[in-house]
Amino acid sequence: MFFDQGFGLLATAPVLAVAFFGFALAHRGPGEGGRTRRLALEWLVVALPYLLAVVTYPMWWAGSSGPARFLVPLLLPLAIPAAAAWQAASGARAREETKVEPSRGAKVVMVAALVVTGWLSAVMAGGGDGRLGYHARNDAGLTGAPYLEWANNIIDLPQAFPAFVPLPIGSPLQAREAAARTGFLATLPWMLCLGAAVLLIIRIGRSGPAEALVPAAALTLAVAVMLALSVLWGKHAAQTRPWTAPQKERLPGESVRAAFPLFQHEGRNPPPAPGPKALEQRGY
């Protein structure tokens, strides 16, 4: 319910991880930290029994629905610990109350998580005529997130992200155990790579120059994502998807017009595009 590529809470809204970081800082000091600590206890009293009940549902992903449908009632109070986490990374008052040193790197990571969440929300709401935010289980194989299929239909992006939706094979318990095992194995590289990237960005923010922080953070996160994708593609032996006949027929005209727009306006002919046989020889 947290890490599945299509139905997971943190996979589709990574900025909510900031709220759990704010709960973790609640025990550091009095004042605002004490009030956040009390909210954390109250939230856990309500959330834990609810989560235990929901994860026992045979269809924990709520059928054909949007991401983390069953977790939506728990999300609104998370705005408070998220604000506490931002304050803890901001200034002297936060240092006095939470005993945590302000960190420019942590703020950059939070902003990056917010940007990714906003991008995913915009894609799921507006891409594919609004259909990318809803999907159901794929009974024939891995249940890939529609926005990953929409983002690139050439490479197999869903194979490089965690998927926990079970296949209707064997008993329900066996199917869920197999899905959980493969899902957690796919989650581990992402947690290690992104966790190492976050720690490195925080360290750069404390010791490096301020003007280099944003480029260094972008490069660090890009490398972390690349490593996680490479590990999982290697694990699944995912290959480039073969081009279909309609794609091959459509590629020469559309791709050349998109790549050489000046030829359209100046009345010149674009360079010849590779035909279907050339594409097949190149491995497409």
User: pLDDT digit string (tens) for 46-98?
Assistant: 999 999 888 888 888 888 888 888 898 889 888 888 888 888 877 644 555 54
Predicted pLDDT at 244 = 54
208 in the same domain as 128: yes
275 in the same domain as 166: no
Predicted pLDDT at 26 = 66
Predicted pLDDT at 207 = 81
Does residue 245 lie in a domain region?
no
255 in the same domain as 173: no
Predicted pLDDT at 110 = 92
Closest of 118, 116, 100 to residue 36, by C-alpha? 100
Predicted pLDDT at 245 = 55
Does residue 1 lie in a domain region?
no
Does residue 2 lie in a domain region?
no
273 in the same domain as 216: no
196 in the same domain as 120: yes
pLDDT along the chain (284 residues), means of 10: 89 90 71 70 90 86 85 89 83 52 81 92 84 81 83 82 83 83 91 93 83 89 93 71 52 45 42 49 47
Does residue 271 lie in a domain region?
yes
Predicted pLDDT at 238 = 47
Predicted pLDDT at 61 = 85
269 in the same domain as 159: no
Does residue 30 lie in a domain region?
yes
Does residue 15 lie in a domain region?
yes
Pairwise CA distance, residues 95 & 89, whole Å: 8
Predicted pLDDT at 234 = 85
Predicted pLDDT at 243 = 52
156 in the same domain as 25: yes
Does residue 3 lie in a domain region?
no
220 in the same domain as 265: no
137 in the same domain as 85: yes
Does residue 108 lie in a domain region?
yes
139 in the same domain as 49: yes
Predicted pLDDT at 228 = 93
Predicted pLDDT at 275 = 52
Counting Cα atoms < 13 Å in the Cβ hemisphere of 112 gives: 21
Predicted pLDDT at 115 = 94
Domain count, the chain: 2
- pTM, entire model: 0.73
Predicted pLDDT at 25 = 75
231 in the same domain as 133: yes
To the nearest whole number, what is the mean pLDDT of the chain?
Answer: 78
The residue segments making up the domain with residue 171 are 9-236
150 in the same domain as 16: yes
